[in-house]
Amino acid sequence: MHENLYFTNRKVNSVCWASLNHLDSHILLCLMGLAETPGCATLLPASLFVSSHQAGTDQPGVLCSFRIPGAWTCAWSLNTQANNCFSTGMSRRVLLTNVVTGHRQSYGTNSDVLAQQFAVKTPLLFNGCRSGEIFAIDLRSPSQAKGRKATHIFHDSAVTSVRVLKEEQYLMASDMAGKIKLWDLRTTKCVRQYEGHVNEYAYLPLHVHEEEGILVAVGQDCYTRIWSLHDAHLLRTIPSPYPTSKANIPSVAFSPRLGGPQGAPGLLMAVQQDLYCFSYSSSCPGSLEEGSWE
């Protein structure tokens, strides 16, 4: 709050990397409205958060904000069919925004859109809905075209996260019933299910890391679970350092090179105002050693 001039006291509904000037050059935030201030999507240069950046110096990159009330989720496009664009999932619609031209395209949906991800090889935007439906929008189609939905998959509960795997033949999805499923997009059938995840109503993300062959998710019971991506075997369950409560669900981030190009794999866990680091060995994925960062 003291060092970052762009700190906001509004709730952040969603956050993702944005590649406007170069890969991961910006951070895209979806902010809730507060009192007389409407909700918005904001692009912040990632360099603002680098420790060497000095407050008061010339601001690097592009900083801009778009008035988008009621966005549940956001996703940045690396697809050439939607260059310099991001998407926001909203109440019964999807909004595609070009940050350079300001052009917007709206797609009506049958349910609130809670999770999104763009494909890279194919011109598709995948959406997960409160109704349990997962569908893809063909970015080449006009917003009102009947054939714009390219894929249909269904969960029994609200979808909280969708992740398209690298080859774009499979999609991972989780829902508010605690189900995590791997779907074959060619046959639209579930080919694998990852057991043990706990969720009853929370908006919880999935973290897929194909390089290490793992899937990471934090449950509503505040346990972080790591599965083998290839056979769905539960490799490790990590309890939260804090007492279990709705307000203390950890946030986690896994990096194959924690700290930079020469870094080792590790898991960061944030709970309340504390940050924990777990070292990770791909040769022995069941062994994680905890360290604490003050």
| Region label for 142, one of left (φ > 0), alpha (ψ between -120 and 50) or beta (otherwise) | beta
The Cα–Cα gap between 238 and 19 comes to 33
Q: For every one of its 294 residues, what pLDDT tens digit does the chain have, with 9 covering 90 and above?
A: 445 556 667 888 999 999 998 999 999 999 998 877 888 999 989 888 776 655 555 455 567 889 998 899 999 999 998 999 999 999 999 999 999 999 999 999 999 999 999 999 999 999 999 999 999 999 887 766 554 677 889 999 999 999 999 999 999 999 999 999 999 999 999 999 999 999 999 999 999 999 889 999 999 999 999 999 999 999 999 999 999 888 899 999 998 888 888 888 899 999 999 999 998 765 555 555 544 332
State the pLDDT at residue 292. Answer: 36
State the pLDDT at residue 1. Answer: 41
State the pLDDT at residue 279. Answer: 85
State the pLDDT at residue 294. Answer: 27
Instruction: Identify residue 141 by its one-letter amino acid code.
Output: S
State the pLDDT at residue 235. Answer: 94
3-state secondary structure of 20: coil
In this prediction the pTM is: 0.88
Rounded to the nearest 5 percent, the helix, strand and coil shares of the chain are 5, 50, 50
The Cα–Cα gap between 183 and 276 comes to 33
Separation in Å, CA 81 to CA 133, 134, 151, 168, 269: 24, 21, 18, 16, 35
State the pLDDT at residue 38. Answer: 85
State the pLDDT at residue 221. Answer: 95
The Cα–Cα gap between 135 and 152 comes to 5
> Is 206 in contact with 223 (CB distance < 8 Å)?
no
Residues composing the chain: 294
Handedness of CA 185, 190, 196, 197 (dihedral sign): positive
Q: CA gyration radius for the chain?
A: 19
Tally of CB atoms within 10 A around 130: 22
The Cα–Cα gap between 44 and 148 comes to 31
State the pLDDT at residue 247. Answer: 85
State the pLDDT at residue 207. Answer: 95
State the pLDDT at residue 148. Answer: 64
The Cα–Cα gap between 16 and 27 comes to 6
Q: What is the DSSP string of 231-264?
A: T--EEEEE--SS---GGG--EEEEEEEETSTTPE
CA count, 13 A, side-chain hemisphere, 16:
24
> Is 208 in contact with 172 (CB distance < 8 Å)?
yes
Handedness of CA 184, 188, 194, 199 (dihedral sign): positive
**Over the range 187-202, which residues count as b (16 or more CB within 10 Å of their CB) and which as e?**
eeeeebebeebebeee
State the pLDDT at residue 64. Answer: 84
Residue 108 in tokens: 């009506």
State the pLDDT at residue 4. Answer: 56
> What is residue 16's DSSP assignment?
E
Which residues lie closer than 8 Å to 36 by C-beta, 6 or more apart?
none
Backbone φ and ψ of 130, nearest 5°: -60, -30
State the pLDDT at residue 286. Answer: 52
